[in-house]
């Protein structure tokens, strides 16, 4: 049910993703995430993530509706945040902060000491949120990447 201010005030529940969630996550990212500069995510890639680290992908559910995601990647040395996304009707309610805090709690349990969030330079919607969470761009670092697709 929705009210005049958007979806009804349901406190989203957080839980790790399962392989059964993969289709919903992929659909959610197509609707709610920034995707202009990246290849499409695949069920195989998400399945591999969940096989390697079953708790890395944290989901926020409001009843049966997926309303938020974050990947809290831990490689045994560094903490990385990817794919922070919140459904448009749930933005501005603190859900992104809740997801980031859950990810940070996971990292602390591993003994992590620094978190890096991957944020597209032109994602102006995300920048104020990341700053409010205490993150800042690091001008001395650049992300270099190369596609591993078959040549």
Q: How far is CA 67 from each of CA 7, 24, 74, 82, 141, rounded to the nearest angstrom?
A: 11, 10, 23, 16, 32
Of the candidate ranges 23-37, 57-71, 92-106, 136-150, the one whose mean pLDDT is the lowest: 136-150
* Residue 41 domain-assigned (yes or no): yes
Residue 78: domain span: 15-132
**Could you tell me which residue, 10 or 20, shows the higher pLDDT?**
20
Tally of structural domains, the chain:
1
* Residue 139 domain-assigned (yes or no): no
Q: How confident is the model at residue 1 (pLDDT cuts 50, 70, 90)?
A: very low
* Residue 148 domain-assigned (yes or no): no
CATH number at residue 21: 3.40.630.30
Residues 54-74 have pLDDT tens digits of 999 999 999 999 999 999 999
Q: Which of 128, 92, 79 is nearest to 6 (CA)?
A: 92
- CB atoms closer than 10 angstroms to residue 22: 20
Q: Please provide the DSSP assignment of 93-145 as one string.
A: TTHHHHHHHHHHHHHHHHT---EEE---TT-TTTHHHHHHTT----TT-----
Quick one: CA torsion of 23, 27, 135, 60, rounded to 10 degrees? -60
* Residue 44 domain-assigned (yes or no): yes
């Amino acid at each position: 049910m929705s009210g005049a201010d958007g979806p009804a005030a349901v406190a989203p529940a957080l839980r790790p993703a399962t392989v059964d969630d993969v289709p919903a996550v992929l659909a959610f990212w197509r609707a709610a995430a920034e995707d202009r500069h990246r290849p499409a995510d695949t069920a195989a890639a998400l399945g591999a993530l969940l096989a390697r680290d079953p708790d890395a992908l944290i989901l926020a559910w409001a009843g049966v509706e997926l309303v938020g995601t974050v990947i809290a990647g831990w490689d045994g040395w560094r903490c990385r945040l990817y794919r922070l996304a919140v459904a448009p009707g749930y933005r501005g309610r603190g859900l992104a902060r809740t997801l980031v805090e859950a990810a940070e709690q996971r990292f602390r349990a591993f003994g992590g000491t620094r978190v890096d969030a991957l944020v597209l330079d032109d994602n102006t919607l995300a920048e104020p949120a990341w700053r409010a969470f205490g993150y800042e761009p690091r001008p001395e670092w650049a992300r270099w990447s190369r596609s591993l697709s078959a040549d």
